[in-house]
């Protein structure tokens, strides 16, 4: 059983249980199913980690639970608020590794951007996470979901949306990613609508097919960055393994299964992926697929091969893309002053440890 892996002094991790698993655990322990609701509420709403404080459960059963189980937690190490309202959190995991998550307010929407791995093994040429941090390990489902819970409790607000766009590639950690999304979606936990949970992938094709077959309506975002195969391979090492042709088939299968728009992220790398030829390639790649293209101006970091686009370059690319029959949005780079913007997760920790020079504020 999966839970056995998470032992501390031979105790099992109560946070690794889904609600349904908790119900059968209660049955196995000779308890009524409503105990599962109580425990789930303490863990996933109140964030309580001390089983003896589950005060609506009779003491004898609490003692029995505490003998066999424990409730781990990720711990907030640092919080940095940006001028634009976004807040970056650094959390310490039980094994001492650190991850980053970002709270992004946007009018009524309260979004949390979560990490799925410590670092990232892919190493895209424009991303600080993969290049500077390397890869340490996959996160467990509860470690992913808890980023949202801790931020919600820390700020005292209800989170409405979750994006899997922090550190790591979600589809290289598929099982934990989906399990965490199911946890967040559970109405006995954080109750975040499936349609408000977006999973972003660099294009790991098997993960896209699996998400297409999943019964819930989780949203898919694809990091495209170039619709020209040779160019894409230059900046995304796994693009060779999952070529655009295969990627396109997988995205269509998601669309046919869900009938939902797919979002494409496109990091604007001036002089590299913003020519007329690039636009034509995007057009033929997306033909027949209702989609939204999100332009993300490249956020530079020390040692990166690219520079940030000028406002003029952004505007020119945006107006050309607008002529295509897709919805085009321009991502305002939130949290740049605190290194919480896309591709800058990792920099803050490095700065703290004095490993790289701070990025000059634009
Ligand atoms: N691994 C997943 C999810 C995390 S990255 C993926 O790649 O989709 C989240 C988004 O930030 C991706 O679209 C990524 O391409 C973008 N990004 C990474 N580095 C960036 C940078 N330096 N500037 C702007 N966007 C960046
Ligand atoms: Fe990993 Fe995504 Fe960064 Fe690429 S862009 S290195 S896949 S986190």
Ligand 2 atom closest to the CA of 238, numbered from 1: 7
Topology of the domain covering 75-352: TIM Barrel (3.20.20)
- Cα–ligand 2 centroid distance for 115 (angstroms): 11
The tens digit of pLDDT for each residue in 263-291 reads 999 999 999 999 999 999 999 999 999 99
The alpha carbon torsion through 101, 107, 109, 112 (nearest 10 deg) reads: 0
- Domain ranges within the chain, ordered by starting residue: 8-70, 75-352
- Cα–ligand 2 centroid distance for 31 (angstroms): 45
Residue 127 Cβ inside 6 Å of ligand 2? The answer reads yes
Please, are residues 262 and 208 in contact by the beta-carbon 8 Å criterion? no
Residue nearest to atom 3 of ligand 2 (CA): 127
Question: pLDDT truncated to tens, each residue of the chain (362 aa)?
Answer: 444 444 566 899 999 999 999 999 999 999 999 999 999 999 999 999 999 999 999 999 999 999 999 999 999 999 999 888 999 999 999 999 999 999 999 989 999 999 999 999 999 999 988 888 899 999 999 999 999 999 999 999 999 999 999 999 999 999 999 999 999 999 999 999 999 999 999 999 999 999 999 999 999 999 999 999 999 999 999 999 999 999 999 999 999 999 999 999 999 999 999 999 999 999 999 999 999 999 999 999 888 889 999 999 999 999 999 999 999 999 766 566 656 665 565 555 444 443 333 332 32
Query: Best mutation site among 130, 265, 273, 292 for ligand 1, i.e. most ligand atoms within 8 A of its Cβ?
Result: 265
Residue 127 Cβ inside 6 Å of ligand 1? The answer reads yes
DSSP 59: H
Residue 333 Cβ inside 6 Å of ligand 1? The answer reads no
CA 275 to chain centre: 30
The CATH code of the domain at 8-70 is 1.10.150.530
Residue 359 Cβ inside 6 Å of ligand 1? The answer reads no
- Cα–ligand 1 centroid distance for 341 (angstroms): 9
Residue 120 Cβ inside 6 Å of ligand 2? The answer reads yes
The long-range contacts involving 275-279, CB below 8 angstroms and separated by at least 24 positions, are 276/320, 277/228, 278/226, 278/227, 278/228, 278/231, 279/320, 279/321, 279/324
């Amino acid at each position: 059983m999966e839970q056995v892996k998470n032992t501390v002094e031979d105790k099992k991790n109560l946070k690794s249980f889904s609600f349904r698993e908790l119900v059968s655990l209660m049955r196995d322990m000779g308890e009524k199913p409503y105990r599962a609701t109580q425990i789930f509420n303490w863990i996933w709403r109140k964030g309580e980690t001390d089983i003896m404080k589950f005060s609506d459960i009779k003491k004898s059963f609490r003692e029995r639970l505490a003998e066999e189980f424990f409730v781990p937690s990720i711990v907030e190490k640092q919080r940095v608020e940006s001028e634009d309202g976004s807040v970056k959190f650094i959390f310490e995991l039980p094994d001492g590794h650190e991850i980053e998550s970002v709270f992004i307010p946007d009018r009524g929407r309260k979004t949390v951007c979560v990490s799925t791995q410590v670092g990232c093994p892919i190493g895209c040429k424009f991303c600080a996470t993969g290049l500077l941090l390397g890869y340490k390990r996959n996160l467990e489902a509860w470690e992913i979901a808890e980023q949202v819970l801790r931020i919600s409790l820390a700020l005292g607000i209800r989170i409405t949306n979750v994006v899997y766009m922090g550190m790591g590639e979600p589809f290289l950690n598929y099982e934990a990613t989906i399990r965490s999304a199911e946890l967040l979606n559970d109405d006995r936990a954080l109750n975040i609508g499936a349609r408000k949970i977006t999973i972003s992938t660099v294009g790991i094709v098997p993960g896209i097919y699996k998400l297409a077959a999943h019964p819930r309506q989780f949203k898919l975002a694809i990091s495209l960055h170039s619709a020209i195969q040779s160019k894409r391979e230059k900046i995304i090492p796994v693009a060779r393994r999952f070529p655009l042709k295969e990627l396109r088939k997988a995205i269509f299968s998601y669309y046919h299964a869900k009938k939902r728009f797919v979002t494409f992220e496109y990091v604007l790398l001036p002089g590299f992926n913003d020519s007329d030829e690039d636009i034509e390639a995007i057009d033929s790649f997306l033909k027949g697929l209702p989609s939204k293209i999100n332009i993300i101006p490249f956020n530079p970091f020390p040692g990166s091969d690219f520079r940030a686009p000028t406002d003029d370059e952004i505007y020119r690319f945006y107006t050309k893309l607008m002529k295509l029959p897709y919805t085009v949005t321009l991502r305002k780079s939130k949290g740049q002053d605190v290194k919480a913007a896309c591709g800058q997760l990792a920099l803050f920790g490095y700065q703290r440890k004095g490993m790289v020079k701070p990025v000059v504020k634009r």
